[in-house]
Structure 1
Amino acid sequence: MIRDIIGYVLGLVIFIIGIPFVMYLASGSPDLVQISLIQWFLLILLAIIGIGLSIWSIVYMKNVGKGNPFDAFNHEVAPRTSSLMTDGPYGICRNPMLLGVFIYHIGVLIALLSFGALLVFIIEVLIMNVQVKKEEQRLKMDFGKQYEDYMKRVNRFMPNV
């Protein structure tokens, strides 16, 4: 239970608060009143969609996968899933939590309209891609052919439509 809570809190601090704050700082800490109404609208819309997808994925992972999402470069921070999830949000893409985070961070990018924020986002995507590739190696070991078949059917980040 404690390890679950640690995983959720770390995810909140890093992805929902931390990275957007770093994007804001990398943008030169602009005055938030300079952000247009349409930028605010898009940020809020993309935050709702992205964070909603991430929460749906976390709840699904807890209920169906019997685990927690926070696994850092093959170091188990919180209990890992015990069953492979291929339906629900995991039928959309193999990493719907990250897709949700990326959608939210694109909203932050739109609000900030800065090269610094874009650079932070690109670095985040590159780092998370390395993390996901390491995680995929572990999942292949844990679930074998079942995971390999899933990889053939469902994209890493881009939604299957």
Structure 2
Amino acid sequence: MDRPMPSPRMVLFAVLGTVVYLGPAVLGWGGFGAFFAHPARIALVAVTVVLTVASLFSGGNISPGEREDRGNRWVLAVFTVLGLLGAYVPAWTDRTELWTLDGDTMRWIGVVIFALGGVLRLWPVFVLGRLFSGLVAIQPGHRLVTDGIYGVIRNPSYLGLMIGALGWALAFRSAIGVVLALLNLLPLVARIRAEERLLADQFGAEYEAYRGRTWRLVPGVC
């Protein structure tokens, strides 16, 4: 699948998104000097930057395509609020030692989980390329992808999002951050249901058969 080079607009969007996400964390930890005083937090930023750069070459987009469920856009606002809280609060609780978990071991476990979640989040985007949109939409030439990781679970990128959010919270040893990460499940389930309705309407029996032999999010669970 041909993948266009990232446009200046995409690069700007990615840079601003990264700054908006990392900025509250730096603020929560009391500034650049305090934040970057620990190697685990440096590693967390490095992983974030690498994932952001990789995402520019995935082929994904935020196009409404040929058909979009606009009624689901509220989910994006909820994700934004939870994302900003999830960026700031864990860093703040880490600095103030409020409801923290374990010590440095937990930080590094969190960094690893965050990285694994980020890879799982991006892997399906690379598989789908231009068919992947940040909106609930049918793209031109849309087809069902049912092999590889999609042969097991239907929403691997969303599983990666949850794992990444959990890893971020653990990298700051934050019990409150874990709760905020889990709250993402509420808009996520709404998003998944909207996508599945749209795909079922678009592909009919083909999608129903696919849904009958795969898991929605976690193999063996749901």
Q: Which TM-score band (shorter chain)?
A: 0.7 to 0.9
Please name the residue that 1:154 is paired with: 214
Tell me the secondary structure at the aligned position of residue 31 of structure 1: helix
Q: Distance in 2 between matches of 1:122 and 1:45?
A: 18
Please name the residue that 1:67 is paired with: 131
1:107 and 2:167 are equivalent in the alignment: yes
Equivalent position to 1:26, from 89, 104, 109: 89
Check the 8 A contact 1:53/1:100 in 2, yes or no. yes
1:40 and 2:107 are equivalent in the alignment: yes
Deviations along 1:54-106, one digit per CA (max 9) or x if unpaired, are 211100011xxx412311xx4x4x94770101112212311111111111112
How far apart are residue 109 of structure 1 and its match? 2.9
Q: How many residues align?
A: 149
**TM-score, normalisation: structure 2:** 0.55
Please name the residue that 2:69 is paired with: none
Change (3 A) 1:160 1:121: same
Please name the residue that 1:122 is paired with: 182
Equivalent position to 2:204, from 144, 148, 157: 144
Equivalent position to 1:95, from 155, 179, 186: 155
What is the Cα-based RMSD across aligned positions, in Å? Answer: 3.5
How far apart are residue 28 of structure 1 and its match? 6.8
Please name the residue that 1:54 is paired with: 121
Q: Distance in 2 between matches of 1:129 and 1:81?
A: 26
- Greater RCO structure (CA 8 Å; 6+ sep): 1
Change (3 A) 1:32 1:107: farther
Tell me the secondary structure at the aligned position of residue 57 of structure 1: helix
**TM-score, normalisation: structure 1:** 0.73
Q: Distance in 1 between matches of 2:177 and 2:197?
A: 31
Change (3 A) 1:68 1:24: closer
Q: Which runs of 4+ in 1 moved over 6 A?
A: 32-35
